[in-house]
């Protein structure tokens, strides 16, 4: 095939200046980018020339994005036509990395080269470069060579605490794909709900997928808890789960399922109490049991048969019994049939040992296997599951608690309680995914003044702190650092029960994470991120109907002591947004002053409090931010 790029329908417009404002909008920022002079008019007749089936699939997905932005799609062809202009998609591994790509927009035309994933990412970058100038779709002349710094770039979506539809999950996958994430960790089971159909055990979804009620407010707001009285739940059929897996794979995203064990199993034991640590007769467990209700009162030697509607660590856990292991192997067999991922996440976190301490069954296993204590029993439990998965060609990932009592031989550790667990695992020669709650728990508040924010679990995680994170701890040697596969943010949904709130907590922090996952520590630049890439990305998110948190503007205040004034400059971080402000201490809304450029603010006299700038940002679509306050001093 003649792969020469034909320009008959690509109109080349020369410009005397370098188009940095247009090329700098790609997020994550490419490794190398050289801006040329001029632009190309991307016309509807231009052909996406894609020889491989994978490239054609990526081309069609690109077209879906392009139509939203421009109103037209490009024809996709496998063979070149001599009179038709083309954008060449050549599937060819670049620098030995299937995720690397090159993108050339030159006077010779447009060409993207890379492996299957690389071509997909090159098209995402091309899409971000498209700019409507009146009715014309323009792209700048540019040469890009790009590749990710980390092979694992993930977001964990918890659908157990609150259930989300397949349509919403797909929307999040679409957004992840645009930002070049390649893994969705799907948290499908927990105390408050089981979300995946298992055909051999129908009560998992008949009983375990539903709770009668959910507490209102924060965990500590009301004692005893006050419940909303509304039944909540839902689950994905196996065909729906397969559809999510296919949808993600088309976007070069692997879905890793999480089936929690041996803790966080209240929803399972509500449906099948016989898989707990005590012999069950008529729904009651025989023998001493340390489970408690939300008031801290004993459960009177009974395993709760209700899916709980309150958060926190629950005492119900699987028993180390042949029946429980057989159940889990049956479940995981069906899970493996749905999810082709190399990894299966098995949880392993927050496992209270009270049941095992008082269970004759558990104590018998400890004695028989010559285990030191219940911690080693947890390790024994996880290693049994790992052996089963390894035999079936899969590997396990677990939260860093799986280090307790001895790490399973082939396990990958997901380090969430800071970096300590990840560092320890890497030094032991185990692979690690960094997801510390200090920097990457997206269920945390986004402002210090919590009264201005929606209800969250706690903590404070602003955009800048996310961006500051580096997945490679200083404590690791160069050899040990090779075990850090990458980075992941976690969105737990105890306090996130709607699509809009999910998007509010994910964005714009997921934009910062995209660069954390794609770039090295030395390549990142927060000032460049918030001024050059973030504004256009947020405008694009709004055009796609994403309910992101409108971030604080970049406010610069300088003092002219001689004149007794301050110069105030406000740069909204959403392209095309307006800012309304006050200086008199009163509320800022759309009746306040419209910011039109830097202004002078007086300095109060001796003994007077500083003035306070209060402002809101109004997006191009008319959404208002929270009100922000900055002292002028």
Q: Which residues are catalytic, by number?
A: 190, 264, 350
Least Cα distance to 207 among 146, 153, 283 occurs for 283
CA distance 452 to 441: 19
Instruction: Please report the beta strands in 289-342, taking only residues with DSSP state E, as ranges in sequence order.
Output: none
Question: In 3-state terms, what secondary structure has residue 434?
Answer: strand
Q: Which two tokens stand for residue 630?
A: 């900055």
**Measured on CA atoms in the order 532, 538, 539, 541, is the torsion positive or negative?**
positive
Cβ–Cβ under 8 Å, residues 556 and 630: no
Q: How far is the C-alpha of 473 from the C-alpha of 481, rounded, in Å? A: 8
**Residue 149 main-chain phi, psi, to 5 deg:** -80, -25
Q: How many CA atoms within 13 Å lie on the side-chain side of 150? A: 31
* Distance, C-alpha 408 to centroid of its chain: 27
Backbone angles phi, psi at 585, to 5 degrees: 85, 0
Is the backbone peptide bond immediately before 254 cis, with ω within 30 degrees of 0? no
Please choose, from the candidates 619, 548, 550, the residue with its C-alpha nearest in 3D space to the C-alpha of residue 175: 548
| CB hemisphere CA count around 261 (13 angstroms) | 30
At which residue do the structure tokens 């679509």 appear? 621
Residue owning tokens 């025989």: 286
| R_g of the chain computed on alpha carbons | 27
Residue 103's φ and ψ, nearest 5 degrees, are -130, 115
Peptide bond into 262 cis (omega under 30): yes
Q: Tokens for 241?
A: 């789960």
3-state SS class at 515: helix
Tokens of 577: 């947004």
For residues 58 and 190, what is the distance between their CA atoms, to the nearest angstrom? 35
Count of CB atoms within 10 A of residue 445's CB? 19
- The residue whose two tokens read 């009100």 is 627
> How far from each other are the two terminal CA atoms of the chain, in whole angstroms?
67
Residue 117: both structure tokens together: 């994933």
Gap between the Cα atoms of 239 and 338, Å rounded:
8
DSSP E strand stretches across 61-108: 76-77, 86-91, 101-106
Give the C-alpha separation, 497 to 398, whole Å: 26
- DSSP letter string, 265-318: -HHHHHH-GGGSSS-EETTEE-S----B-TTS-B-TT----S---S-S--S---
H helical segments located in 71-144: 116-129
CA 179 to CA 190: how far, in whole Å?
A: 29
3-state secondary structure of 562: coil
């Amino acid at each position: 095939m003649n792969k020469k790029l034909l320009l008959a329908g690509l109109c080349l417009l020369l410009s005397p200046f370098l188009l940095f404002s247009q090329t700098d909008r790609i997020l994550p920022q490419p490794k190398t980018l050289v801006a040329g002079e001029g632009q190309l008019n991307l016309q509807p007749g231009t052909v996406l020339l894609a020889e491989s089936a994978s490239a054609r699939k990526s081309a069609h997905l690109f077209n879906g994005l392009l139509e939203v932005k421009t109103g037209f799609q490009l024809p996709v062809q496998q063979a070149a036509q001599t009179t038709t202009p083309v954008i060449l998609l050549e599937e060819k591994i670049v620098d030995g990395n299937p995720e690397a790509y090159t993108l050339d927009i030159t006077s010779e035309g447009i060409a993207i080269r890379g492996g299957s994933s690389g071509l997909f990412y090159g098209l995402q970058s091309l899409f971000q470069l498209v700019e409507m100038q009146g009715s014309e779709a323009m792209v700048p002349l540019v040469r890009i060579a790009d590749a990710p710094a980390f092979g694992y770039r993930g977001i964990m979506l918890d659908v157990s605490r609150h259930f989300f539809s397949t349509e919403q999950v797909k929307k999040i996958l679409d957004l992840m794909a645009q930002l070049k994430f390649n893994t969705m960790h799907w948290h499908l089971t927990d105390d408050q709900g089981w979300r995946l159909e298992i055909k051999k055990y129908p009560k998992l979804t008949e009983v375990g997928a539903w709770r009668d009620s959910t507490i209102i407010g924060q965990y500590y707001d009301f004692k005893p808890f006050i419940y909303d009285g509304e039944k909540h739940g839902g689950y994905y059929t196996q065909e729906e789960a397969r559809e999510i897996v296919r949808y993600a794979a088309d976007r070069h995203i692997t879905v890793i399922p999480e089936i929690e064990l041996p803790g966080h199993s209240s929803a399972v034991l509500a449906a099948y109490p016989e898989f707990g640590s005590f012999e069950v007769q008529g729904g009651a467990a025989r023998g001493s049991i340390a489970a408690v209700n939300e008031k801290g009162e004993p459960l009177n030697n009974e395993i709760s048969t209700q899916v709980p509607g309150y958060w926190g660590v629950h005492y119900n856990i699987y028993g180390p019994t042949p029946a429980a292991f057989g159940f889990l192997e049956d479940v995981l067999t069906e899970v493996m049939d749905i999810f082709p991922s190399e990894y299966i996440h098995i949880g392993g976190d927050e496992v209270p040992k009270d049941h095992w301490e008082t269970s004759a069954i558990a104590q018998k296993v400890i004695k028989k296997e010559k285990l030191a204590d219940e911690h080693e029993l947890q390790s024994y439990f996880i290693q049994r599951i790992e052996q089963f998965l390894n035999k079936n060609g899969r590997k396990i990932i677990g939260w860093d608690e799986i280090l307790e009592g001895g790490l399973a031989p082939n396990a990958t550790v997901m380090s969430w309680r800071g970096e300590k667990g990840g560092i320890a695992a890497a030094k032991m020669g185990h692979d690690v995914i960094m997801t510390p709650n200090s920097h990457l728990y997206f269920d945390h508040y986004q402002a210090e003044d919590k009264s201005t924010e929606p209800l969250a679990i706690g903590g404070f995680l602003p955009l800048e702190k996310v961006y500051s994170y580096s997945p490679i701890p200083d404590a690791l040697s160069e050899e040990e650092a090779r075990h850090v596969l990458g980075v992941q943010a976690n969105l737990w949904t105890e306090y996130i029960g709607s699509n809009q709130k999910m998007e509010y907590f994910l964005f714009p922090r997921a934009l910062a994470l995209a660069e954390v996952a794609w770039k090295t520590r030395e390549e990142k630049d927060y000032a460049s991120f918030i001024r050059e890439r973030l504004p256009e990305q947020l405008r694009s998110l709004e055009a796609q109907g994403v309910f992101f948190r409108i971030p604080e503007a970049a406010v610069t205040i300088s003092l002219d002591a001689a004149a007794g004034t301050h110069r105030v400059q406000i740069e909204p971080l959403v392209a095309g947004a307006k800012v309304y402000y006050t200086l008199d201490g009163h509320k800022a809304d759309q009746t306040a002053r419209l910011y039109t450029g830097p202004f002078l603010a007086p300095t109060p006299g001796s003994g007077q409090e500083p003035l306070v700038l209060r402002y809101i940002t109004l997006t191009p679509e008319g959404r208002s931010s929270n009100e922000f306050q900055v002292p002028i001093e």
